[in-house]
């Protein structure tokens, strides 16, 4: 079986657990192949980075090879005028990659042939 590339897009808080479950199922179902997977979080969903349960689940999928990406634009909007914001870029877990715009990241991946999944 050929390896494949997938980008999961979450912009709604309530969809994060579905996306993580989809990712875990994809990884299990793909063995022994290890697909290239990105999880792009933008919009209001960036609030999930303040949830310890979500972070624990993200650590698990990151250790399985998933790249977790946060949108800087969304974080800046979420944290606007709040210096104590718990999801400020400098407070995110070290495994989270921050890109300037989540939608741009998704478009770049689609142009590279990544499958787009929006749980």
DSSP character for 33? Answer: S
Q: How many CA atoms lie within 13 A of 102 on its CB side?
A: 24
Number of helical H runs and strand E runs in the chain: 4, 5
pLDDT tens per residue, range 72-113: 999 999 998 887 888 999 999 999 999 999 999 999 999 999
Q: What is the pLDDT of residue 81?
A: 80
Q: Domains in the chain and their CATH numbers?
A: 5-117 (3.40.1260.10)
**Cβ 119 vs Cβ 11: under 8 Å:** no
pLDDT tens per residue, range 23-55: 999 999 998 888 999 999 999 999 999 999 999
Taken in order 75, 50, 89, 66, is the CA torsion positive or negative? Answer: negative
Dist CA 89 CA 91 (whole Å): 5
pLDDT tens per residue, range 1-28: 568 899 999 999 999 999 999 999 999 9
**Bridge partners of 69?**
40, 97
Task: Say whether pLDDT at 57 is over 70.
Answer: yes
């Amino acid at each position: 079986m050929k390896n494949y590339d997938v980008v999961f897009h979450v912009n709604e808080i309530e969809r994060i657990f579905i996306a993580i479950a989809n990712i875990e199922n994809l990884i299990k179902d793909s063995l022994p192949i290890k697909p290239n997977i990105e999880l792009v979080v933008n919009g209001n969903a960036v609030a999930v980075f303040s949830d310890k349960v979500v972070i624990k689940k993200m650590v698990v999928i990151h250790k399985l090879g998933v790249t977790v990406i946060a949108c800087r634009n969304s974080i800046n909007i979420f944290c606007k005028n709040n210096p104590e914001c718990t999801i400020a870029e400098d407070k995110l877990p070290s495994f989270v990659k921050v890109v300037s715009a989540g939608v741009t990241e998704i478009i770049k991946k689609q142009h590279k042939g990544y499958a787009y999944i929006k749980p």
